[in-house]
Amino acid sequence: TRRLLIFMIPQLKQRSTQRVAELFGEAEQRSARELRRAAETAARAQRFDEAIVLRVRALARSLGERGIVMLPPGATVQAFARRAAVPFPEFTAQLDAAANAFDDVRYLRGTGSETAYALVRDLDAALAGTHPGTLPELAGSGVFDTPARTQAPIEHAGAGR
């Protein structure tokens, strides 16, 4: 008798490694790291308008890269601030201030300042090192409704001897 073996190879969905092309109304393919680097370069050259815009985009891209805040095409910086405040409620005021600084220099023809840039830079750095208290897609499910706790580093047996 003949036996026929059929091997099924699951078809894997290819995940796009390309980033969302738009951030707050402009095409933007750079990573959060690249945007931060460009923002720092602009800040060192005293181009604070540009530095603020780039650093807010870096913040948004970073939270997207981490899978924390996903923005639909066409989202405004104000919508981003509201979404980011869900997993990071302790940063709501700073997120609002960063969004306002972005809007001031990008749309309202305001002048960026070193102080405004420092606020955005410090917020980006703080959120980069913070775990979200609530993941928006699971909010209300009971799974992540308690604030995240900072875990102490795991010490291995024999370490430090």
**Phi/psi-derived region of residue 19, left when phi > 0, alpha when psi is between -120 and 50, beta in every other case:** beta
> Which two three-digit tokens encode residue 155?
């010490």
Range among 12-21, 34-43, 102-111, 146-155 with highest mean pLDDT value: 34-43
**What distances in angstroms separate CA 151 from CA 67, 118, 131, 148, 154, one per listed residue?**
20, 28, 10, 9, 8
**Mean of the per-residue pLDDT values for the chain?**
79
pLDDT tens profile 3-31: 655 555 444 433 444 445 688 888 888 99
pLDDT tens profile 94-112: 999 999 999 999 998 889 9
pLDDT of residue 1: 59
DSSP reduced 3-state for 43: helix
